[in-house]
Structure 1
Amino acid sequence: MIKVGYLLSYDYDLIFTSINQIYEEADKIFIAIDVNRRTWSGNDYELPLSFFENIELLDYKNKIQIYEDNFYISELIPIECETRERNLLLKKMGRGWLIQLDVDEYVYDFKTLTNYLNKYWYLTLFPKFTPIVFKGKLITLFKQTEEGFLYIDNDEKFPFITNLNKYEFTRYNTKVRNHFVNVNVVHQSWARTDDEIQTKIKNWGHRDDFNTKNYFEFWKNISSSDYMNYNNIHPINPEVWNKLHFLPSKSIDEFINTYSIRNRQILINLSKMKIFKSMVKIIIGRE
């Protein structure tokens, strides 16, 4: 089965754009929500009753399961709370192809990805002997202007699919085979209002990783008329966001649609020989 899990928090409204991309093809969808409505930083947020009503209206095939638990631990820093919640969600999701997305990550043409994963269904039978992580490519939206979106389109890879039931750190498992699938995932990331960005940087897992106040001021000053003057702008690893692009769009849905037409999902197949060799190494206990 192909299962998709989300970690929901203060930016809960973005999940509807994401679910609309994957709903028809996913077998099950899980939404993890802190039972006390607290972020990984321990801050409170409100989740209106209308959210659940809208989820119920969307879920006409009864695929969505709400998973509530205590995901904030005061003794842990935010990134540790994130890793803990992701692992609890993995256990709740069970076995199969396990996909974890943030609410602002949008996998367009999800059918192409599900067809790909179904081709390798046998890797989910005994994951202890066939552990694997699939990586995609992030198309990171940096800022929304009146004219459209500034975005980064390079080779920024990130793991989000596995057959394992535990992560080492956030969504990473570095001790098993990682395969780059080449699936594009649009990440809304910093393309939000000023207030939404302020909430994001006070509560997300990277809260303590850089000077968020200075970076926020830097972000505010970039526009669609001068974006080409800025390079290497990632707040933690500058070269990861090496160059900004611009795409005229009136909405996030228009951006996704236009980008997907120009950039079809063309995935990279696995080598069956490499899979076999990996299995043999694990079975005989070699590194």
Structure 2
Amino acid sequence: MRLNAYIMLADPAFLGPSVRSYYSIVDRIVVSYDENAKSWTGTPLPLEHCLEIIRKLDTEGKCDYRPGHFARPEFNSLQNDTHQRQTALAQASEGADWVLQLDTDEVMPRTDVFLGVLDRADASGAWAMDYPARWLYTRVQPGRFLEASTRLWRLACSFPGPLAVRAGTVLELARQTGSPLYRADVRPWNTDPAGPPETIVHEVVPADAAVLHYSWVRSAEDIARKVGWSGHSDEWRKSGKYGLWLHATRRPKSTVLKTPFARKWRQYRLSRVLDFPDEGV
């Protein structure tokens, strides 16, 4: 099986650890970025810093640089997000059987487990593979984080879209596709608070093999910038998520104690997982 990947340069915070975590298992990495260093909302991006990180880690010459025009003011941020992903996916599909769709703030701790699931997804005839991600909200101290959980502090995983798709797959919204799915989870039933309970789980993987999604693990300054350039920028501004994050960061213990009474996606537990130096700006 030939596996390629694509990344979209915007956020340097976990870019190095993310790409290094799967660099050895892919044949080619399409590096997609806006040629004018603009985000999907038109704000400036630290493109040169991101390119510097990629050039240093690309020791085997696997990176294929593909600039384009993705900051289209006539479209909203999620439409621009989907357009860039689809463009990069089409480029990464050249000569591939499957394409990895890992964002640059996601780290794959166990490539052996991931590849095993992908082999079984391929054999099943599926066109896309859902794989669990542990959603890390904020760093409490080095190596210790607030992590998304159930109401009783059990691990809750997220599935923002298939983390691998067959070459030539058509995307509908961001990473999401209507193609037939093969799904792995950390328990025999759905652990995603946003997913329906009847979601079929084809196999179970260990919790330590789930992708680590350092979604909001940033400094306050970097979070403010991320809110400005993300595909979810409009939603985050309207919902006041930055203020909620700041409160949880300053009061992690009380945030955890409130979990049994909190609404979905405001339920957290304290966890120890891999940590990396911040490469943000």
| TM-score, normalisation: structure 2 | 0.76
Other-structure match for 2:190: none
Q: Conserved in 2, the CA contact under 8 Å of 1:232 and 1:242? A: no
Provide closer, same or farther for how the CA distance between residues 37 and 23 of structure 1 changes in structure 2, counting only shifts above 3 A.
Answer: same
Distance in 2 (CA, whole Å) between partners of 1:72 and 1:190 is 23
Whose Rg is larger? Answer: 1
Q: Distance in 1 between matches of 2:90 and 2:25?
A: 22
Aligned partner of residue 24 in structure 1, secondary structure: helix
Contact 1:25–1:111 (8 Å) recurs in 2: no
Q: Which has the higher contact order (CA 8 A, sep 6+)?
A: 2
Per-residue CA deviation, residues 85-137 of structure 1 (Å, 9 max, x unaligned), is 010001111231111111101111113222443456568xxxxxx55111011
Look up the match of 1:265: none
Question: How large is the RMSD of aligned CA atoms in angstroms?
Answer: 2.6
Q: Which amino acid aligns with 2:175?
A: R
Q: Does 1:172 align with 2:196?
A: no
Alpha carbons of structure 1 residues 232 and 242: separation in structure 2 relative to 1, 3 Å: farther
Aligned partners of 1:12, 1:29: CA distance in 2, in Å? 17
In structure 2, what is the Cα distance between the partners aligned to 1:26 and 1:165?
18
The normalised TM-score by structure 1 is 0.75
Aligned to 1:231: 259
Deviations 1:21-54 (A, max 9, x none): 1111122212211110000001112323x64344
Mean Cα displacement is larger for which, 76-85 or 109-118? 109-118
Summarize deviations over 1:215-234 as a string: whole Å, max 9, x none.
Answer: 21222112232122333999
SS in 2 for 1:134: strand
Contact 1:5-1:30 at 8 Å conserved across structures: yes
Q: Is the 1:8–1:31 contact (alpha carbons within 8 Å) kept by the matching residues of 2?
A: yes
Provide, for residues 158-207 of structure 1, a one-character-per-residue CA deviation record: whole Å limited to 9, x for no partner: 32211143201111112x31221236111101111101111111111111
2:24 is matched with which residue?
24
Looking at structure 2, the residues matched to 156 and 169 of structure 1 have their Cα atoms a distance apart, in angstroms, of: 16
Cα distance in 2 for residues equivalent to 1:145 and 1:248: 10
Which deviates further from its counterpart, 76-85 or 56-65?
56-65
Aligned mates of 2:67, 2:157 — CA distance in 1 = 35
Counterpart amino acid of residue 165 in structure 1: T
* 1:58 corresponds to: 57
Q: What is the rounded CA distance, in whole Å, between the counterparts of 1:88 and 1:156 in structure 2?
A: 25
For residues 6 and 74 of structure 1, the distance between their equivalents in structure 2, rounded to whole angstroms, comes to: 22
1:252 alignment partner AA: D
How many aligned residue pairs are there?
Answer: 240
Instruction: Say whether residues 1:151 and 2:154 are aligned partners.
Output: no
Q: Which amino acid aligns with 2:176?
A: Y
Query: Between the two proteins, what is the percent identity of the paired residues?
Result: 19
SS in structure 2 opposite 1:190? coil
Distance 1:187 1:15 in 2: 12
Name 2:77's counterpart in structure 1: 78
Alignment match, 2:115 = 114
The 3-state SS of whatever aligns with 1:76 is coil
Q: Distance in 2 between matches of 1:198 and 1:56?
A: 27
In the alignment, which residue of structure 2 is the partner of 1:280?
none
Match status 1:252 vs 2:254? no
Alignment correspondent of 1:243: 267
Deviation at 1:248, TM superposition (A): 4.5
Letter in 2 for 1:47: L
Matching residue's letter, 1:29: I
How much does 1:247 deviate? 2.4
1:217–1:99 distance in 2 versus 1, CA, 3 Å: same
Q: Distance in 1 between matches of 2:26 and 2:119?
A: 11
Alpha-carbon distance in 2 for matches of 1:72, 1:102: 18
